[in-house]
Structure 1
Amino acid sequence: MAVMNIARSGTKQWVLQRISNTVIVAYSLLVVTLLFLEPVTNHQALASFFSPIWFKVLTSISVCIFTLNGVIAGWQIAGDYVKGDAINKAFNFLCILLSLSMIVAMVKLIWL
Protein backbone atom coordinates (compact mmCIF):
# COMPACT_ATOMS: atom_id res chain seq x y z
CA MET A 1 0.00 0.00 0.00
CA ALA A 2 2.96 2.31 0.47
CA VAL A 3 3.43 2.19 -3.29
CA MET A 4 0.01 3.77 -3.72
CA ASN A 5 0.78 6.38 -1.00
CA ILE A 6 -2.40 5.74 0.97
CA ALA A 7 -0.91 3.54 3.68
CA ARG A 8 -0.22 6.52 5.90
CA SER A 9 -3.75 7.85 6.18
CA GLY A 10 -6.74 5.94 7.45
CA THR A 11 -8.95 8.85 6.43
CA LYS A 12 -7.85 8.58 2.79
CA GLN A 13 -8.53 4.85 2.86
CA TRP A 14 -11.98 5.41 4.35
CA VAL A 15 -12.86 8.04 1.74
CA LEU A 16 -11.54 5.89 -1.13
CA GLN A 17 -13.53 2.90 0.08
CA ARG A 18 -16.73 4.93 0.38
CA ILE A 19 -16.29 6.40 -3.10
CA SER A 20 -15.48 3.02 -4.60
CA ASN A 21 -18.41 1.38 -2.81
CA THR A 22 -20.73 4.05 -4.21
CA VAL A 23 -19.44 3.44 -7.74
CA ILE A 24 -19.81 -0.33 -7.33
CA VAL A 25 -23.41 0.00 -6.09
CA ALA A 26 -24.29 2.43 -8.90
CA TYR A 27 -22.79 0.11 -11.52
CA SER A 28 -24.60 -2.89 -10.04
CA LEU A 29 -27.91 -1.03 -10.09
CA LEU A 30 -27.30 -0.06 -13.72
CA VAL A 31 -26.58 -3.65 -14.73
CA VAL A 32 -29.62 -5.00 -12.88
CA THR A 33 -31.83 -2.32 -14.44
CA LEU A 34 -30.51 -3.05 -17.94
CA LEU A 35 -31.02 -6.79 -17.40
CA PHE A 36 -34.64 -6.18 -16.40
CA LEU A 37 -35.18 -4.04 -19.48
CA GLU A 38 -33.49 -6.51 -21.84
CA PRO A 39 -33.20 -10.04 -20.42
CA VAL A 40 -30.16 -12.07 -21.43
CA THR A 41 -31.26 -15.53 -22.52
CA ASN A 42 -28.32 -16.75 -24.59
CA HIS A 43 -24.70 -16.00 -25.46
CA GLN A 44 -25.58 -13.74 -28.38
CA ALA A 45 -27.80 -11.60 -26.13
CA LEU A 46 -25.00 -11.39 -23.57
CA ALA A 47 -22.49 -10.37 -26.24
CA SER A 48 -24.82 -7.65 -27.51
CA PHE A 49 -25.44 -6.55 -23.91
CA PHE A 50 -21.71 -5.81 -23.46
CA SER A 51 -21.11 -4.53 -27.01
CA PRO A 52 -21.66 -0.73 -26.62
CA ILE A 53 -18.38 1.11 -26.11
CA TRP A 54 -19.82 3.24 -23.29
CA PHE A 55 -20.75 0.08 -21.40
CA LYS A 56 -17.30 -1.46 -21.93
CA VAL A 57 -15.64 1.70 -20.63
CA LEU A 58 -17.98 1.87 -17.64
CA THR A 59 -17.39 -1.81 -16.88
CA SER A 60 -13.62 -1.34 -17.14
CA ILE A 61 -13.68 1.63 -14.77
CA SER A 62 -15.93 -0.24 -12.33
CA VAL A 63 -13.69 -3.32 -12.30
CA CYS A 64 -10.59 -1.18 -11.70
CA ILE A 65 -12.34 0.58 -8.82
CA PHE A 66 -13.51 -2.78 -7.48
CA THR A 67 -9.97 -4.11 -7.49
CA LEU A 68 -8.63 -0.96 -5.80
CA ASN A 69 -11.27 -1.47 -3.12
CA GLY A 70 -10.10 -5.07 -2.71
CA VAL A 71 -6.47 -4.03 -2.32
CA ILE A 72 -7.38 -1.47 0.35
CA ALA A 73 -9.55 -4.01 2.18
CA GLY A 74 -6.78 -6.60 2.00
CA TRP A 75 -4.28 -4.12 3.41
CA GLN A 76 -6.64 -3.30 6.29
CA ILE A 77 -7.31 -6.97 7.03
CA ALA A 78 -3.59 -7.72 6.97
CA GLY A 79 -2.91 -4.83 9.32
CA ASP A 80 -5.53 -5.99 11.80
CA TYR A 81 -5.27 -9.77 11.70
CA VAL A 82 -2.09 -10.97 9.97
CA LYS A 83 0.85 -11.05 12.36
CA GLY A 84 4.44 -11.06 11.21
CA ASP A 85 5.97 -8.67 8.72
CA ALA A 86 6.83 -11.29 6.09
CA ILE A 87 3.38 -12.88 6.16
CA ASN A 88 1.76 -9.44 6.08
CA LYS A 89 3.74 -8.45 2.99
CA ALA A 90 2.99 -11.78 1.33
CA PHE A 91 -0.74 -11.34 2.02
CA ASN A 92 -0.70 -7.82 0.58
CA PHE A 93 1.24 -9.03 -2.47
CA LEU A 94 -1.36 -11.77 -2.97
CA CYS A 95 -4.18 -9.19 -2.79
CA ILE A 96 -2.44 -7.02 -5.39
CA LEU A 97 -1.72 -10.04 -7.61
CA LEU A 98 -5.36 -11.19 -7.47
CA SER A 99 -6.55 -7.67 -8.26
CA LEU A 100 -4.25 -7.40 -11.26
CA SER A 101 -5.40 -10.81 -12.49
CA MET A 102 -9.01 -9.61 -12.26
CA ILE A 103 -8.15 -6.59 -14.41
CA VAL A 104 -6.40 -8.80 -16.99
CA ALA A 105 -9.38 -11.18 -17.08
CA MET A 106 -11.77 -8.23 -17.50
CA VAL A 107 -9.74 -6.83 -20.41
CA LYS A 108 -9.71 -10.24 -22.06
CA LEU A 109 -13.45 -10.82 -21.57
CA ILE A 110 -14.72 -7.34 -22.38
CA TRP A 111 -12.33 -5.91 -24.95
CA LEU A 112 -10.88 -8.87 -26.84
Structure 2
Amino acid sequence: MVKAVTGFGRSGLYDWFIQRVSAVVLVAYTLFIVGFIFLSKDFGYASWSALFEQRWVRVFSLVALFSTIAHAWIGLWSVVTDYLTNRMMGGKATVLRILVEVLLGAVAVFYAVWGIEILWGV
Protein backbone atom coordinates (compact mmCIF):
# COMPACT_ATOMS: atom_id res chain seq x y z
CA MET A 1 0.00 0.00 0.00
CA VAL A 2 1.34 3.40 -0.98
CA LYS A 3 1.09 6.10 1.65
CA ALA A 4 1.61 9.78 0.84
CA VAL A 5 4.35 11.47 2.82
CA THR A 6 2.40 14.71 3.25
CA GLY A 7 -1.15 13.40 3.01
CA PHE A 8 -1.83 13.49 6.76
CA GLY A 9 -4.30 10.63 6.37
CA ARG A 10 -6.62 12.45 3.99
CA SER A 11 -8.47 10.60 1.31
CA GLY A 12 -9.33 11.75 -2.19
CA LEU A 13 -13.02 11.72 -1.28
CA TYR A 14 -12.37 13.97 1.70
CA ASP A 15 -10.43 16.45 -0.46
CA TRP A 16 -13.16 16.37 -3.10
CA PHE A 17 -15.84 17.05 -0.46
CA ILE A 18 -13.90 19.93 1.14
CA GLN A 19 -13.35 21.52 -2.28
CA ARG A 20 -17.06 21.31 -3.11
CA VAL A 21 -18.21 22.66 0.26
CA SER A 22 -15.66 25.49 0.14
CA ALA A 23 -16.71 26.32 -3.42
CA VAL A 24 -20.36 26.60 -2.33
CA VAL A 25 -19.38 28.88 0.57
CA LEU A 26 -17.31 31.06 -1.78
CA VAL A 27 -20.14 31.33 -4.31
CA ALA A 28 -22.59 32.30 -1.55
CA TYR A 29 -20.16 34.90 -0.17
CA THR A 30 -19.46 36.33 -3.61
CA LEU A 31 -23.17 36.62 -4.40
CA PHE A 32 -23.76 38.28 -1.02
CA ILE A 33 -21.00 40.88 -1.51
CA VAL A 34 -21.90 41.59 -5.15
CA GLY A 35 -25.58 41.80 -4.19
CA PHE A 36 -24.80 44.25 -1.40
CA ILE A 37 -22.74 46.43 -3.72
CA PHE A 38 -25.36 46.55 -6.46
CA LEU A 39 -28.44 46.75 -4.23
CA SER A 40 -27.10 49.32 -1.79
CA LYS A 41 -28.68 52.72 -2.39
CA ASP A 42 -25.88 54.65 -0.71
CA PHE A 43 -22.80 52.54 -1.29
CA GLY A 44 -19.77 54.09 0.33
CA TYR A 45 -17.48 53.78 3.30
CA ALA A 46 -20.27 54.34 5.84
CA SER A 47 -22.50 51.56 4.50
CA TRP A 48 -19.54 49.22 3.98
CA SER A 49 -18.32 49.87 7.52
CA ALA A 50 -21.83 49.38 8.93
CA LEU A 51 -22.11 46.08 7.09
CA PHE A 52 -18.88 44.75 8.57
CA GLU A 53 -19.76 45.93 12.08
CA GLN A 54 -22.36 43.17 12.15
CA ARG A 55 -21.04 40.04 13.79
CA TRP A 56 -22.71 37.63 11.35
CA VAL A 57 -21.00 39.36 8.37
CA ARG A 58 -17.61 39.06 10.06
CA VAL A 59 -18.27 35.38 10.82
CA PHE A 60 -19.42 34.79 7.23
CA SER A 61 -16.29 36.57 5.99
CA LEU A 62 -14.12 34.45 8.26
CA VAL A 63 -15.77 31.26 6.98
CA ALA A 64 -15.18 32.49 3.42
CA LEU A 65 -11.53 33.20 4.25
CA PHE A 66 -11.01 29.71 5.69
CA SER A 67 -12.87 28.23 2.71
CA THR A 68 -10.53 30.08 0.35
CA ILE A 69 -7.50 28.80 2.23
CA ALA A 70 -8.77 25.19 2.31
CA HIS A 71 -9.79 25.29 -1.35
CA ALA A 72 -6.43 26.73 -2.40
CA TRP A 73 -4.45 24.34 -0.20
CA ILE A 74 -6.09 21.24 -1.70
CA GLY A 75 -5.78 22.58 -5.24
CA LEU A 76 -2.16 23.62 -4.85
CA TRP A 77 -1.28 20.39 -3.03
CA SER A 78 -2.71 18.45 -5.98
CA VAL A 79 -0.74 20.50 -8.49
CA VAL A 80 2.49 20.31 -6.48
CA THR A 81 2.25 16.55 -6.00
CA ASP A 82 1.40 16.05 -9.68
CA TYR A 83 4.23 18.18 -11.06
CA LEU A 84 6.95 17.67 -8.47
CA THR A 85 7.25 13.91 -8.66
CA ASN A 86 10.28 11.68 -8.61
CA ARG A 87 9.80 10.86 -12.28
CA MET A 88 10.09 14.49 -13.34
CA MET A 89 12.82 15.64 -10.98
CA GLY A 90 15.17 12.66 -11.00
CA GLY A 91 14.64 11.53 -7.41
CA LYS A 92 15.07 14.94 -5.72
CA ALA A 93 11.43 15.90 -5.82
CA THR A 94 10.43 14.85 -2.30
CA VAL A 95 12.57 17.51 -0.61
CA LEU A 96 11.53 20.17 -3.12
CA ARG A 97 7.86 19.20 -2.81
CA ILE A 98 7.98 19.37 0.98
CA LEU A 99 9.72 22.76 0.85
CA VAL A 100 7.07 24.10 -1.52
CA GLU A 101 4.30 22.71 0.69
CA VAL A 102 5.86 24.28 3.80
CA LEU A 103 6.10 27.61 1.98
CA LEU A 104 2.46 27.37 0.86
CA GLY A 105 1.41 26.41 4.38
CA ALA A 106 3.26 29.39 5.83
CA VAL A 107 1.55 31.70 3.35
CA ALA A 108 -1.83 30.17 4.27
CA VAL A 109 -1.20 30.73 7.99
CA PHE A 110 -0.05 34.30 7.31
CA TYR A 111 -3.22 35.06 5.34
CA ALA A 112 -5.41 33.45 8.02
CA VAL A 113 -3.84 35.52 10.80
CA TRP A 114 -3.96 38.67 8.68
CA GLY A 115 -7.61 38.07 7.80
CA ILE A 116 -8.55 37.53 11.44
CA GLU A 117 -6.73 40.72 12.37
CA ILE A 118 -8.61 42.65 9.67
CA LEU A 119 -12.02 41.23 10.52
CA TRP A 120 -11.83 41.30 14.30
CA GLY A 121 -9.36 44.13 14.87
CA VAL A 122 -7.09 41.98 17.02
TM-score, scaled to structure 1: 0.86
Question: Where do 5+ consecutive residues of structure 1 fail to align?
Answer: none
Partner of 1:109: 118
Counterparts in 2 of 1:40 and 1:82: CA distance versus 1, 3 Å = farther
Question: Where do 5+ consecutive residues of structure 2 fail to align?
Answer: 1-5, 86-92
1:91 corresponds to 2:100: yes
The match for 1:47 among 46, 49, 61 is 49
Amino acid corresponding to residue 15 of structure 2 in structure 1: Q
The match for 1:76 among 75, 78, 81 is 78
Amino acid corresponding to residue 50 of structure 1 in structure 2: F
The match for 2:66 among 51, 64, 67 is 64
Task: Find the aligned partners of 1:59 and 1:66 in 2 and give their Cα distance.
Answer: 10
Judge which range, 9-18 or 85-94, deviates more. Answer: 9-18
The match for 2:109 among 92, 100, 106 is 100
Is the 1:60–1:107 contact (alpha carbons within 8 Å) kept by the matching residues of 2?
A: yes
RMSD: 1.6
Is the 1:70–1:95 contact (alpha carbons within 8 Å) kept by the matching residues of 2?
A: no
The match for 2:7 among 2, 5, 26 is 2
Report deviation, 1:41: 2.6
Report deviation, 1:2: 3.0
Task: Find the aligned partners of 2:110 and 2:103 in 1 and give their Cα distance.
Answer: 10
2:53 is paired with a residue whose SS is coil
Bigger radius of gyration, 1 or 2?
A: 2
TM-score, scaled to structure 2: 0.79
Report deviation, 1:40: 3.5
- CA offsets 1:22-52 (integer angstroms, 9 cap, x no match): 111111111111111225333x443222110
